[in-house]
Structure 1
Amino acid sequence: MDSNFSYWRMVIIGVLSLLLIVAISFFFYFEHIYFNYNPKEATFSKLENIRNKKKAKVIRYLDQQKERGIKVCQNSDIKDYFKKLLYLYSNHGYGGIEYAIIESVVNKLFVIELDKFYDLLFIDAEGDVFFSVKKEDDFLGNIHEERFNGVSLFEKIRKIQTRETEFVDYEYYSISDEPASFFITPVLKADKIQGYIVLQLPINDINCILTERQGLGRTGEVYLVNYNQLMITQSRFVEDNTILTKQIDTEAVRNAILEKRGNKIIKDYRDKRVFSSYEQFDYEGTEWIIVAEIDEDEVITEIYLSREKELFNKVTDYLSKYSYQNDIQKVFGKEWKQKNSSVKVDFKEFQKSKNGQSLYTEGIATCTAMTIGYPGKFGYLLHITPTDGSYRNVGFLTRLLLRDSYTDFVERVMSGICRYDILQCEKSQLRIGLMATHDDSFKNIIRKLTEHGVELSQIKVLYKKNYQKVDVVFDYRNDQVWSLWGGKGFKMVYTDEYENAPDIGELIKKLSNYNRV
């Protein structure tokens, strides 16, 4: 009997587990189909969902801290400590053994019960700060002093009317030299205010909630903006501090003030086109705007990756028939290599330049030329051969046969750039060019680049299948690539076709359903 029961229990558990796996798989499959069918609507839906979850987390966190603070403030022991210290301070001033003993007890309670808070202040009805855990410059001061004019915490207490706990929005609190918000709880005796217990809450945990990037891809971020249109969380794209220092005057913020919530493709505070989902909401009388955004470039890249085979064929077909503009021309003189201190990149080689030198390579026929540059800072020129992992026919067995002849230049160079040459936030500054008379390497190179966080809008391709070879000169300082197709040597005219060529992101917009939905 027991064995039969165990058997059927295992069967039921197995069936339920299978159904759960099927349901999860169906969900992700449906999400994939929805994105392919209507990428704009799917992206806004995703951002809206993330925005709502982040907002709920922020409110829940603040409510939890408020509840903990109120619980401690209503604790009879804390009230007794407040009243004893107030009595000692009013009659004897600060100091003495009894004062020190009570301070020590309150400090221990603060560490145990209020670990999320930065400081605890006791303030009497006249405005004297007679207790502080941190004992900074506000301690033993009076909130009515001129030096505290304009400090939101003290301005709030000066005007306070209610007997309930009040919230003070995040601002730069110069006394602690950091952003802070506050909960103010009045201490009453026979309905008369004896003073206030103030809890100082740092921005750290709120910032962690907003900057956690699960589901936000390579360029997504969620941030809070206050009523002064100042960012109150850290930007993922700015190395310097943005908390209460970065003004956000974007269409999303302006629309949130007028319309409360919405979704729109706009230019963000970096002047980049983004999908933006925004909402104005209230917390304890404080108006905030929460914004969830992701770069349009990343969305375009994801459209391509989700339909790679179909769209790659469309792109190469389009480029093979594309009429590159070549109205900008440059004639290199006989001694141009020496005069320009140019560096030659030989067959199956790559070179880096960061001292203003131009790079050049010759005879790209079955090979592929690739430029990677950060305009004005550095540039790489790669002469990639058919024994490189970028070529479509180089599989695992081929690698074994090639052994030392096998290369993977794109992976090697991009790993080095990401590790040594740039910060993460600078990756979008890279400009990449591919030049070849065939498309055998393009697909794998594009995939490798996207795996390193490069967007399609950063990549340009010069593809001329009716020519036998191409020679390339790369001037990273001015982000210029000069190409000579099917000529003999460097005595002929080079054209700046790279400048006028469309980037792959533009082509995906044109060739997919992006602009039709």
Structure 2
Amino acid sequence: MKKLGILFLLIITTLFIFSCNDYKHNKATQKREIISFENYKRNTLQSLDSITISQKNKLVQYLKTIRSLASNAVKDKALLSFFKQKIAFQKIKNKELPKEIIEKAKSVESNLISHYITNYNQFYNILMIDADGNIIYTIRKEKALNQNIFDKKFANTLLYKKLKNNTNESFVDFQFYEISNEPSAFFIEPIFEENRLMGWFVLQFSITKINSIFDRSDKLGETGEVILVNKNHYMLTDSRFIPESTILKQQLADNNITEKFKLKEGHKTVTDYRGYKVISSFKVFHFWDSEWLIIAKINQAEVLTDYFKNHTAQFYNCLESALKSRKYEYMNFSPLPNQKEVNIDEIKRIEQSETVHTKGLSTCTGLLVYLPNKFAYLAHISPYDKIYNETKTDIVGHLMNRIDYIEISKAQKQLLKFIIVAPEIATAKNITNRLINEGIFLNQIKLLTKGDNRSSEITYQCGKSDAVITMHINDKVTYLSTSQIPELDNEICL
């Protein structure tokens, strides 16, 4: 019995030791997870890598299919027969042909168009060019028909240069093709008869299909996108965020793209074409003698905000310390005329050059929201609001619904600026969390708490880059530009 008691004690002791070790390990793991933004960022980059590879595979498969289709053209009896017929007609084009031959030719052409629709509709057009450069036929009958590709007016086109210097099968990279009034690429398929060059089938395809391959937003959040870039640093795909087409119009910065082509693949944190700091995965892709760059990217602000959502306690500890240690340089300021006054539980909207003002922010919270040079809203939120855990009003919800529904597009949401003047940290946390849940990022928000202020005021003139906070400290009045207040992404401890 005594031995059993000792054995039981040993088992309990062993289990306790293992439990303690597991507890210490779990606590250490939790601590690592809390502080490891770099690991979080690394996971995001791995997701971007997967997207880059996926897009490359889709592009490879598409180009492989369309290249194979282009190669078949010179073996296509219907195309070859029609080409030879057009060559023959070229030789007698000034002679009057019998009506039955003309009717037969029209029937053959009609059959050819049906053949094109059935077998070659992935191509925008097929040009038939003889060995002298004469464009003897095009499916779409565009103005290039009956012109010569070797004329000087075509000399700046890549198609001219390829045909002039090369009789082999080749590929012409995307360029704005004036005749079709859109970006186009071409497969050149030479036609030989008994080793003699008779001419070429030139199969034209637009960027539309490739653009649709890259038109995706899944797994890319609110700010991510995948783009294709050529060696001249022009986008070959449309931006997800710009309504006008960016294809062969939006040129990306040399200091961003040159190094990516040089490195071939990897990760970079850069400022993108819209002025946002982004993290990106990239891979260089070769097709014939063309070299393209695939980039998957997402705004760093979105990644940081997503990280914040899982580490709010850590962030607010950092924020409280930062608020206590802030030092400001105050400014001279005179009240502006014709101010729109905002009273308690009110929201006022202003436009360019108008001024809005609220005072008496002691236990209340002030919230300024503005889209630079467009509009601004100022709200004076009482302690009966949802951000104070009360139910009488929900001014933030009402304001964001109005802005989302009336004022902005989805892409403009990240352009909004937010200034919060809160009485204490608890309310500041609540309103910040609310804005984050509304899809706002940390780098859009500036926050000031009451501190030693008896009360505060907010003044903003629409069109200005910053607002003015009036602070009543004891019997002294001071003025603070919001340019002195850092965005919240600068307050997070990483």
Do the two structures share a fold, i.e. TM-score over 0.5?
Answer: yes
Q: CA RMSD in A?
A: 2.6
Counterpart in 1 of 2:228?
A: 224
C-alpha distance 191-218 of structure 1, shift in aligned 2 (>3 A): same
Counterpart in 1 of 2:293?
A: 289
Alignment of 1:464-503 (within 5 A): 464-486=450-472, 493-503=477-487
CA distance in 1, matches of 2:469, 2:445: 16
Larger Rg: 2
Worse-superposed segment, 341-350 or 494-503: 494-503
CA distance in 1, matches of 2:207, 2:297: 21
Contact 1:207 1:233 in 2 (8 A): yes
CA distance in 1, matches of 2:189, 2:239: 33
Contact 1:72 1:113 in 2 (8 A): no
For 1:120, what is the secondary structure of its paired residue?
Answer: strand
CA distance in 2, matches of 1:438, 1:295: 30
Alignment of 1:34-113 (within 5 A): 36=37, 38-92=39-93, 96-113=102-119
C-alpha distance 278-361 of structure 1, shift in aligned 2 (>3 A): same
The question of 1:177 aligning with 2:181 is answered: yes
CA distance in 1, matches of 2:458, 2:253: 43
CA distance in 1, matches of 2:141, 2:212: 27
Alignment of 1:295-310 (within 5 A): 295-310=299-314
The superposition leaves residues 239-280 of structure 1 with CA deviations (integer Å, 9 ceiling, x where unpaired) of: 433211222124331112322222121222333322122222
Contact 1:372 1:430 in 2 (8 A): yes
C-alpha distance 366-115 of structure 1, shift in aligned 2 (>3 A): farther
CA distance in 1, matches of 2:330, 2:407: 34
Alignment of 1:454-465 (within 5 A): 454-465=440-451
CA distance in 2, matches of 1:378, 1:135: 50
Contact 2:342 2:358 in 1 (8 A): yes
Stretches of structure 1 that go unaligned for 5 or more consecutive residues are 1-31, 400-405
CA distance in 1, matches of 2:397, 2:66: 47
Worse-superposed segment, 194-203 or 182-191: 182-191
Counterpart in 2 of 1:322?
A: 325
For 2:92, what is the secondary structure of its paired residue?
Answer: helix
Counterpart in 1 of 2:315?
A: 311
For 2:282, what is the secondary structure of its paired residue?
Answer: strand
Contact 1:324 1:501 in 2 (8 A): no
- Aligned letter for 1:54? Q
**Identity percentage over the alignment?**
28
Contact 1:320 1:464 in 2 (8 A): no
Alignment of 1:392-407 (within 5 A): 393-394=389-390, 399=391, 406-407=392-393
- Aligned letter for 1:151? T
The CA deviation at 1:130 is: 1.5
Match of 2:270 among 263, 266, 270: 266
Contact 1:250 1:268 in 2 (8 A): no
The CA deviation at 1:497 is: 4.8
Counterpart in 2 of 1:122?
A: 128
Contact 1:480 1:496 in 2 (8 A): no
CA distance in 2, matches of 1:249, 1:323: 36
The CA deviation at 1:313 is: 4.2
TM-score w.r.t. length of structure 1? 0.82
CA distance in 1, matches of 2:491, 2:268: 22
The question of 1:385 aligning with 2:382 is answered: yes
CA distance in 2, matches of 1:245, 1:113: 32
Worse-superposed segment, 169-178 or 273-282: 273-282
C-alpha distance 189-107 of structure 1, shift in aligned 2 (>3 A): same
The superposition leaves residues 115-167 of structure 1 with CA deviations (integer Å, 9 ceiling, x where unpaired) of: 222111111122111211111111111111121111112321222232x4x21
Contact 2:453 2:473 in 1 (8 A): no
Counterpart in 1 of 2:137?
A: 131
Counterpart in 1 of 2:147?
A: 141
For 1:450, what is the secondary structure of its paired residue?
Answer: helix
CA distance in 1, matches of 2:248, 2:116: 27
The CA deviation at 1:35 is: 7.5
Contact 1:324 1:497 in 2 (8 A): no
Contact 2:34 2:314 in 1 (8 A): no
Stretches of structure 2 that go unaligned for 5 or more consecutive residues are 1-32
The CA deviation at 1:88 is: 2.6
The CA deviation at 1:474 is: 2.2
For 2:463, what is the secondary structure of its paired residue?
Answer: helix
Residues matched between the structures, number: 458
The CA deviation at 1:442 is: 3.0
Worse-superposed segment, 418-427 or 246-255: 418-427
TM-score w.r.t. length of structure 2? 0.85
Match of 1:430 among 413, 416, 422: 416
